[in-house]
Structures are given as structure tokens and as C-alpha cells.
Chain A
Amino acid sequence: MLDCSIGYLGIFLKRHINIESLNVSKSEIDHVSKFTIVVNTTEKWVHNIVGQIEKQIEVIKAFYHTDDETIYQESALFKIASNLLFDERQIQNIIKESNSQIVTVSREFFVLAKSGRRFEIDEMYEQLKPFGIMQFVRSRPNFGN
């Protein structure tokens, strides 16, 4: 958690660690933000990096959780051409079965919102991909338990 400043992200870049996801949000304390960073690397490196982040002056506390200690809940948005909704019956099935919602519709495209576990989003992505996805975003807010 920090007051501001994302300068410490260089600590990841130095080690060529790809940031899988980065989430910044208000925390339960005023003027303190919570950064949640998901990376794929060894625990030894994560230990070192957490130490180096924690010593940044603006950082109040840094800690890490391994995969099995983490609760993930992802949200994703899919932008798809509107004509497909009518031409491809399969798409309607996907919407139903995946429990996703249509959040906006226009003449050109509609947007589907889906939240769930990572593999569920992946699955839906794979199903929609053959029909053509115009845009895709996902986010991964999570907690260590």
C-alpha cells in the first residue's frame, strides 16, 4: 500500500518480470492506496522484490501470496460485432451458458460482461474467438486469504 507513486514498478522491469495484472484501488484507510500486482516468477524472486518494494519510502507495507493462497475474481468485457448476434445462433448460447450480461448494444457492436474465475473467462474467450472479438479487457482484483 502506498500514498501515491508507481515509481517502484521499475523493480519488476529490472528483473524482466512481466506484470500479469496491476490493480490500484483506494484502501480502507484514507489517502492510502492498495496496489495488487500479479506476476509469474519464483518465490525467491518475489521475496526479494517484496523486500525492495517495502523499503520504498512511500510504501507502508508490502507482502505476497502464492497462487494457492489467493482468491481471484476476474471481470472481463468482450466487444463483438452486432450482426453476429443475429447471424450466429451459437453466440446466444454462449451468452446464456456463461452467465454473462449484455451491458450495451449499438448498431455496430455490443458488449458482454462476464465475471468469474480465470479459467471461466479463458473458456469464454476461446469460445468467442472464432466469431471475432473486436476488443477484450480483463481485470483481476484479488485478495490473499
Chain B
Amino acid sequence: METLKEKKTAQKTKKSIRISGAEAIIHCLLAEGVDLIYGYPGGAIMPVYDELYKFQDKLTHILTRHEQGATHAAQGYARVSGRVGVAMATSGPGATNLVTGLADAQIDSTPLVCITGQVPRHLLGSDAFQETDIIGISTPVTKWNYQVTKASEIPEIMAKAFYIAKSGRPGPVLVDITKNAQFDELDFTYTKCNGVRSYKPAPKPDADALKQAADLINNAKKPLIVWGQGVILGKAEEELKELVEKAGIPAAWTIMGASALDSEHPLNVGMVGMHGNYGPNLLTNECDVLIAIGMRFDDRVTGRLEDYAKQAKVIHFEIDPAEVNKNVHADVPVLGNSKETLSLILPLINPNSHKEWLQLFAEKYQIEYDTVIKNDIYPTKEGLTMGEVIEEINLASDQKAVIVTDVGQHRMIGCRYAKFKESKSNITSGGLGTMGFALPAAIGAKMGAMDREVVAIIGDGGYQMTIQELGVIFQHNVPVKIVVLNNDHLGMVRQWQELFFDRRYASTVMTNPDFVKIAEGYHIEAKRVTERKELKSTIQEMMASKNPYFLEVKVEKEDNVFPMIPSGAAVSEIRLK
């Protein structure tokens, strides 16, 4: 935190203005460079909405159709742009509707600032109309939260909120503001925050650790890199590429790391995890040095921990000390921001290539191609597959689109087969696996990168969880492309029922509405594809459209996603069928 002396000089040089707390909130947002926010009004936040009305030429507010949609839209915006996403809601139900998005942003390290209205200070604790203890509720799912009860606190708290949300390992921050603090006046000046006493955003890289890590890498015969979103959040894509190329190391990604390295880079060996690629999963248990970069060894990545990479020395590049030795023991932890640590290690790395080791990945890929991939993307049977739809999108978008996926079979297929040339192109709800994420997140992604194509890949189940956000797409003509892969099932759960519960399909079969008509009800151009011969041309038509476009593809009802590491199994027990 700034010292008192700095504060005094800042106040002397900046002239303060006397304004209401509500207006101060707008000035804080503008000072942080925010020009777009998502939200939903209500009693306890009305003074702020009144100011939004006055400032609408400087600050656009998008009314989502549900507060959960506001958080996911803000997440999509943040993930694609690298900026802080902002969402706003009223007290009580408005605030509780934010919780899923906060939890999602917390586990996926997405920088958000959420502002909620709260009942006036004198009513706190009285079970007043629409009072909920959102501070208590959101504590486990935010990086930081704070309740403002005095107008004069607003500038300092807002500055701190933005600083905490985006610094170090990013995350969501919630600022709850009582209604009296919105109405009351304060002498407003704004100073950006650049430090908080009890908070260290990123540890300083340690020269010894870097040296030890470099020694291990230089002496490795069978090294494997597994990178995660930390590379994207640290803007270390170039450094990752240099390391991979200089040391000639095969590199695999977690679902959150997708797109940080070109999908077709010869050293990109694919995705790890439950439905990841055969080679990198299997060979995790054969490598001699495992280099984890900006990833947190999620159980969906490691499978059974007792049998995860036990033969390997583990190097863990990580910004968050709490992640080191949490799940997997790190022989050499390299703490710090990924861009810094990777830049520092590069000069210590000897050029190398690991031809024979790489050959193993190629062989495993061939096995996976013959048994799984070929049938997924070039099927010969009659019914349409999710894989061929993704492949057509790759072709029609020249692999340049931002792919936003929901949760289920379509997501795993989407992430397995979508090809990326640019970073920040894969937006998905990784750690929380929130159905309903994709439609609002795609809206945010499009608004955060207007020059890019944004394609949402959604299941028929998850689509109906946030389908009301079609209203935003229609009202603001947001040109996102929505692809619903309709298998008339909660497919991923049905797959587990088939494999592990003797095909007892409890509540996973759905009778669906006419999705095309629903989209048309929102005046969105809509098509349905039921046969292979229509697929290519329709996807081309969709990608060529300058407007929002809805496409429903009727796919096989009972297809399964493979390979698969059943839960509780080791990565080396990955099944091809």
C-alpha cells in the first residue's frame, strides 16, 4: 500500500471533486480503463445505475438476462482480452446469482471485479428486504472481497480491487457497497493501487532454482513439458515456444493451456488429462523429467496421484506458492511469473533434440489416430459426429476463431479437435466445469475481441441453462456463431452411465424444444443440419455471415468420447475404447 506521505502528495497534486459514492464508482471504473460492464439492476444498486445512465457515452453497460450471464460474459471478455472483466448486480438474489461465475473465475484464475449493491448500513444484519451476507457467501470463491459502508472508502477500495484482481495469479474480487455509501458524498480523487502490505503478487525468481532446473533439463533424455494457463496469463507464449524449440522437448497442454502454442507446431504433442491424447498421457509415466509450467496438477490431469509420473524428476514453474507440492511433489520448484522465469532459464538451456523420444509420441499418435481420431473426424457411419463438425469449423475459420466451449462431450471433442494459431483462443470453464458458461462467455469474448470470429460450441443440455442470453445477442447484434451439438442427451453423464452404471440412463435423456424456432424468436438467423451433405456448406455460410448465427447439428445420440482415463485410474491406464 502507498505510504501516508505518497498519499498526501497525491492528494495535493490531484484536485478532489465532491460527488456521490455512486458517481465515484463510475469514475473509478473509468480511471481503470473500463469501458464495458455487464450487469443487472435492482433496488440496492439503483444509484449506480442512475450514474451509468449519465455516463453512457463513456461506459457501456450490457444488460444480461441473468446475473450469472453477467459474470460469464465478463469472464469471456477477460480471458480473450487479458483485461479485467466487470460485472454488477443488486443485493440479495442479484448477488447470489453471481456466485457460480465467481467460483468459476476463482478456480480458473480469471480477473474480475464484481460490484454488488447492499442494503443501507443501518439495516445490515436485520434480515432486511434483499439482504444477504454476500461477503460471507463469496469468501471461499473470491480472491478478495470487501464491504464498503462509507462513501469515502470507495476510491481506495476500488483501486485495491482492480490491483488484486489482475496482479499475481489473477482472480475475482467482489466489492459490496451499501446503499447509503452510494448516496453519500465524498471528496473524490483516484490513485491507482500498486501494492498491498499483506499481499505478494509474485515471488522473485530464485537463481539457484533456475540453475538446478536448467541442469535437469539439459541432462534429461526423455523430458516432457506440460503447460497450463499460467503461460497465457503470464504472456509467456513466446518464451514457451523458444524453450520448446531450443531444447527440443515435446510439449503437452492442459485444457486451460490450449492455444498458447500453435496446434500444428511439430513439438506440440497434444492435450493431457481425462480425455486428452493417448501419447502425452501414457508417456507422462515414462518421461525422466517432467517440466510443469503454469499448471496446478488438477486431478482431471493427473488421474491417480500415487501413480503419476513417479519415475520422473518434477520441475514446477509456478506463480502461486500454495500450488507447489500441493498434489505432486516438485523436485525443483521455480517460483515466479512464467514470463520472467522462462526468460531467465532460456540462456541456461543447451540446444538439443530428442528424436527417439519424439518418435514415441508419433507412434502413440498413430495408434490413437487409427482407433479414435479417424472415426471421430472422418466418420464412415451414417450419423453425424461432433468431431467432424469441429473439423469443418477449423477449415472454414482457417483455425483463427476463438472457440468457446460449454461442458460435456462436445467440450472434450471441441478441445481435442479445434486447431489454434493464436493464443487466448480457447475459452472454456476448466476447473469448475460450469454448464451454461459458453453462451454468455462467447458474448463477452466477442466484445473483448471484435476483430475475431467467436464460435460457441454448446451441448443441448448446457445451452438451456443460459439460453436467455440470446436476448443480449439479439438486442446488441453481437455477431457470435452458436453451434449446438444436439444429441438429445446429457451426453457426458450418459457416457458414464453407459460405462460405469450398466447403462441405467437416469435422467439423462431430454425431450428438446425446437432450437431453431427459439433462435428465430430472437430474430437470429438459424439453421439445422441433420445430414452430412449439408454440413460443410452450412458451416461455411455461418462463418461467412457478418451477423449472429445459430446452428443446430443433430449428432449421434450415443457416441462416446475416447480416449478416457476413468476417474481414479492412472494416466497410464488410459483407455482407447
Quote the shortest CB–CB distance from A45 to chain B (angstroms). 10
Quote the shortest CB–CB distance from A104 to chain B (angstroms). 33
Q: Which residue of B lies closest to A51 (CB)?
A: B322
B164, B198, B199, B323 pick with most chain A CB within 10 angstroms: B198
Query: Are A3's CB and B198's CB within 8 A?
Result: yes
A52 at interface, CB cutoff 8 A: yes
Please tell me which one of the listed residues B136, B198, B199, B326 contacts residue A51 in the complex, with CB atoms under 8 A apart: B326
Please tell me which one of the listed residues B136, B140, B199, B322 contacts residue A57 in the complex, with CB atoms under 8 A apart: B199
Q: Which residue of A lies closest to B325 (CB)?
A: A47
Query: Are B321's CB and A58's CB within 8 A?
Result: no
User: From residue 342 to 359 of chain B, which have CB atoms closer than 8 A to chain A?
Assistant: none
| Binding site secondary structure of chain B | mixed
- Chain B residue contacts of A48, Cβ below 8 A: 322, 325-326
Query: Are A55's CB and B198's CB within 8 A?
Result: no
User: From residue 162 to 209 of chain B, which have CB atoms closer than 8 A to chain A?
Assistant: 164, 196-199
- Chain B residue contacts of A60, Cβ below 8 A: 197-198
- Chain A residue contacts of B325, Cβ below 8 A: 47-48
User: From residue 496 to 511 of chain B, which have CB atoms closer than 8 A to chain A?
Assistant: none
A77 at interface, CB cutoff 8 A: no
Range for the number of chain A residues in contact with chain B: 10 to 19
A59 at interface, CB cutoff 8 A: yes
Query: Are B322's CB and A55's CB within 8 A?
Result: yes
Please tell me which one of the listed residues A3, A54, A57, A59 contacts residue B321 in the complex, with CB atoms under 8 A apart: A54
A2, A51, A52, A54 pick with most chain B CB within 10 angstroms: A51
Quote the shortest CB–CB distance from B450 to chain A (angstroms). 34
B144 at interface, CB cutoff 8 A: yes
- Chain A residue contacts of B411, Cβ below 8 A: none
Please tell me which one of the listed residues B140, B196, B322 contacts residue A10 in the complex, with CB atoms under 8 A apart: B140
- Chain A residue contacts of B139, Cβ below 8 A: 7, 10
Contact with A along B109-138 (1 / 0, CB 8 A): 000000000000000000000000001100
Query: Are B320's CB and A57's CB within 8 A?
Result: no
B300 at interface, CB cutoff 8 A: no
Query: Are A58's CB and B198's CB within 8 A?
Result: yes
B143 at interface, CB cutoff 8 A: yes
Quote the shortest CB–CB distance from A12 to chain B (angstroms). 12
- Chain A residue contacts of B323, Cβ below 8 A: 51
- Chain A residue contacts of B198, Cβ below 8 A: 2-3, 57-60
Please tell me which one of the listed residues A10, A47, A57 contacts residue B164 in the complex, with CB atoms under 8 A apart: A57
Query: Are B322's CB and A52's CB within 8 A?
Result: yes
- Chain A residue contacts of B196, Cβ below 8 A: 57
Quote the shortest CB–CB distance from A48 to chain B (angstroms). 5
- Cα distance, A47 to B323, chains bound together (Å): 11
Query: Are B140's CB and A51's CB within 8 A?
Result: no
- Cα distance, A3 to B198, chains bound together (Å): 9
- Cα distance, A77 to B144, chains bound together (Å): 39
- Chain B residue contacts of A14, Cβ below 8 A: 140
- Chain B residue contacts of A57, Cβ below 8 A: 143-144, 164, 196, 198-199
Q: Which residue of B lies closest to A1 (CB)?
A: B198
User: Could you pull out 22 A-B pairs where Cβ atoms are within 8 angstroms?
Assistant: A2-B198, A7-B135, A7-B136, A7-B139, A10-B140, A47-B325, A48-B326, A51-B321, A51-B322, A51-B323, A51-B324, A51-B326, A52-B322, A54-B321, A55-B321, A55-B322, A57-B144, A57-B196, A57-B198, A57-B199, A59-B198, A60-B198
- 20 further A-B pairs in the complex, CB-CB below 8 A; given A7-B135, A51-B322, A52-B322: A3-B198, A7-B139, A7-B140, A10-B139, A10-B140, A47-B325, A48-B322, A48-B326, A51-B323, A51-B326, A54-B321, A54-B322, A55-B320, A55-B322, A57-B143, A57-B196, A57-B199, A58-B198, A59-B198, A60-B198
